[in-house]
Amino acid sequence: MGRFSEVFLGAQEQEEVFAPAPVAESVEVSAPVVEITELSAPEAVAEEKEVFNPNARDGDGDGLVQEGTIYERPVEKKIKKL
């Protein structure tokens, strides 16, 4: 054997193996409790339906119409015909 093998094998022979410490008291483990809660929308929100309004106006002047709906869009600039 070479010098490396002798050193390596010699280190393995000197290695101590430790056993886990004994446990004085037992610990009881249980599964977590999961509560399922059904959520419902408030009446006012559940009854509200979004409707597309092709003639919507920009009431606050921010450049958007039907804000907060799926139909939110920038204001269309209309060109007056001469």
- Catalogue the long-range contacts made by 69-74 (C-beta closer than 8 Å, 24 or more residues apart): none
Q: How confident is the model at residue 77 (pLDDT cuts 50, 70, 90)?
A: confident
Q: Determine, yes or no, domain membership for 21.
A: no
Q: Determine, yes or no, domain membership for 6.
A: no
Q: Does position 64 have pLDDT exceeding 90, yes or no?
A: yes
Contact call for residues 65 and 58 (beta carbons, < 8 A): yes
pLDDT in tens, 36-56: 888 776 665 555 678 899 999
Number of domains in the chain: 1
Q: Which domain holds residue 62?
A: 35-74
Calculate the alpha carbon distances from 41 to 22, 38, 46, 66 in Å. Answer: 55, 10, 6, 22
Q: Determine, yes or no, domain membership for 64.
A: yes
- Cα distance between residue 70 and residue 51, in whole Å: 9
Contact call for residues 44 and 50 (beta carbons, < 8 A): no
Per-residue model confidence (pLDDT) at position 22: 78
pLDDT in tens, 5-31: 666 666 555 566 777 777 777 778 888
Q: Determine, yes or no, domain membership for 42.
A: yes
